[in-house]
């Protein structure tokens, strides 16, 4: 089970930290990803982190603003979002995958077999 939380309403330029708590599986064995889905849009890749936290990869539009980290001891993955923009408004989901976080597969939501319920992030202008 994955449970994402930490979303909310923030002004443009602000920051939020999303968390995703895992249970029921060996968290440290999986690469983890964050995706988002805006109104009327498909779910899109935000970033992914390797099981060991040694590598993290991001979509171009969030590079330098978002940072993914994880705590295997406490079975959590985080998404720190800074300099938020109105176009970042979406429901954010965490998911697990066996595919390497730097691969094209890890950018495809179909390659994830478990998802959290999503947390809404709204960025006002």
For residue 11, count CB atoms less than 10 angstroms from its CB and return exposed for 0-12, middle for 13-18, buried for 19 or more.
exposed
Return the number of other C-beta atoms located less than 10 Å from residue 68's C-beta.
26
Q: Is the pLDDT reported for residue 101 higher than 90? A: no
Q: Is the pLDDT reported for residue 122 higher than 90? A: yes
- Residues 31-77 pLDDT 10s: 999 999 998 999 999 999 999 999 999 999 999 999 999 999 999 99
Separation of alpha carbons 92 and 122, rounded Å: 10
Q: Do the beta carbons of residue 67 and residue 44 sit within 8 Å?
A: no
Please compute the mean of the pLDDT values over residues 77-92 and round it to a whole number: 98
């Amino acid at each position: 089970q994955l449970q994402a939380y930490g979303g909310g309403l923030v002004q443009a330029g602000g920051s939020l930290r999303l968390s995703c708590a895992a249970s029921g599986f060996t968290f440290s064995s999986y690469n983890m990803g964050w995706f988002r889905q805006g109104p009327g849009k498909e779910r899109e890749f935000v970033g992914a982190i390797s099981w060991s936290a040694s590598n993290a990869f991001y979509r171009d539009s969030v590079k330098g603003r978002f940072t993914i980290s994880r705590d295997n001891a406490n079975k959590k993955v985080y998404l720190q979002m800074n300099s938020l923009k109105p176009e970042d408004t979406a429901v954010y989901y965490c998911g697990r995958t066996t595919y390497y976080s730097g691969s094209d597969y890890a950018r495809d939501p179909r390659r994830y077999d478990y998802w959290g319920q999503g947390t809404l992030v709204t960025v006002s202008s």
